Structure 1
Amino acid sequence: MRKRGYHHGNLRAALIDAALKLIEEKGPTGFTLSEAAKQAGVTPAAVYRHFKGREDLIASAALQGYVMFGELMEYAAEGKTGLDAFETSGRAYLAFARKYPGHYIAMFESGISVNHSPELAHASGQALGQLEKAARLLTEHMPADKRPPASMVAAHIWAMSHGVVELFARGSPGTKSPFPPEDLLESGIGIYMRGLGLIPPDE
């Protein structure tokens, strides 16, 4: 039986799609290149025309994810400032993790360094840059001696978002969220912002 023919770069995309499905099913270390090739309908040797190995294939899936993620974060925060920008970005983070679990795992749970390639490092930086932009806008009116670095604020919000996703938004075995993940994240962001004096306390 002849293998399916691929043209115009479709084989590379088909292999990434196959890897994403396998990552969802078996985790980033639970599948082989041969399995990815079989799912894409090609011989294992064909994989090496586009990827150096499994790690390179997963890194390409992560790159695709970071590009999508960065665009989503930019769209979510567009036209918004302050707490609204962070809350919509947080909701977008949760939505991405739910809708694209294969990409999310490749990006954050595969052990692949964002410095695997210049392209991956750039895409990762662009995504975090959206949060840093919101942080700069939010803190620019604070006195210089009391203003936290925008990168620190962005990293805190990213860590909070990631924690809610990992513990409560992706159905981790044995865990049950006491509140909707979106509410947990938004209230956490609000408490953090009030702690910095960036928004007034609730009356």
Structure 2
Amino acid sequence: MPKRGYHHGNLRQALVDASLTLIEERGPTGFTLSEAAKQAGVTPAAVYRHFEGRADLIAEAARQGYEIFADLMDHAYAGGQPSALASFEAVGRAYLAFARKFPGHYVAMFESGISIQRTPELHEVATRALGVLERAAEELAGHIPPEKRPPPQMVSAHIWAMSHGVVELFARGSPGTKSPFPPEDLLETGIGIYLRGLGLVPPDA
């Protein structure tokens, strides 16, 4: 592994990159700050110039992951037009693609135990990502009388949970789990059934 850190002039980012590699290999609790420093090519003491501890380092990895994630969600939703259902399905595919392409970030965000309330910056970007689904739910429910509309927060939480479940069970190679259908198909059909059941999209959409 070539040494980074000081050679690249960005020690903080070199440590984040090192932590992402270690998270992919060992999980969020399977490495020490000393190992992250070694991976980045710096001394352990150098870590504390930028991070108070391992949790602080993982929180920054999660924040950067949410930045990528939120941008992907925004792009997917905009690209799914003109159909609101197509936009929701595009967002679901983006969720699966993110989990596959950025496994270290994904684990730091969703499996490390780091709260999105840990820092204002982390909370802000995580809220922006969830806001894409809430905005989509609001647009889908526009044709329903206000008193009969399901809360957009509930709809977005359900879609998020469905996406996360498909990722965890079938899209990340979990031991002993195998679906007879591609994860993308599972998620798209699930989203369609759910939204039709709420009356947010017509049966023939």
Q: TM-score range by the shorter chain?
A: over 0.9
2:171 matched to 1:169?
A: yes
TM-score, normalised via structure 2 length? 0.94
Deviations 1:102-161 (A, max 9, x none): 000000000000001000000100000011111111112211121011111111100000
Counterpart CA distance in 2 for 1:18 and 1:82 is 39
2:166 matched to 1:184?
A: no
Aligned residues: 201
Counterpart CA distance in 2 for 1:4 and 1:201 is 55
Structure 1 stretches lacking a partner, 5+ long: none
Do the aligned residues in 1 keep the contact of 2:5 with 2:15 (CA within 8 Å)? Answer: no
Q: Which residue identity is paired with 1:117? A: T
Structure 2 stretches lacking a partner, 5+ long: none
3-state SS in 2 of match to 1:177? coil
Counterpart CA distance in 2 for 1:128 and 1:46 is 35
Q: Which residue identity is paired with 2:199? A: G
Counterpart CA distance in 1 for 2:39 and 2:90 is 36
TM-score, normalised via structure 1 length? 0.95
- 1:67 aligns with 67
Q: Tell me how large the CA RMSD over aligned residues is.
A: 1.6
Q: Would you identify which runs of 4 or more consecutive aligned residues in structure 1 move more than 6 Å? A: none
Greater Cα shift, 71-80 or 112-121: 71-80
3-state SS in 2 of match to 1:114? coil
- 2:32 aligns with 32
Counterpart CA distance in 2 for 1:5 and 1:107 is 23
- Trace 1:44-193 onto structure 2 (pairs within 5 A): 44-78=44-78, 80=81, 81-193=83-195
Counterpart CA distance in 2 for 1:5 and 1:59 is 19
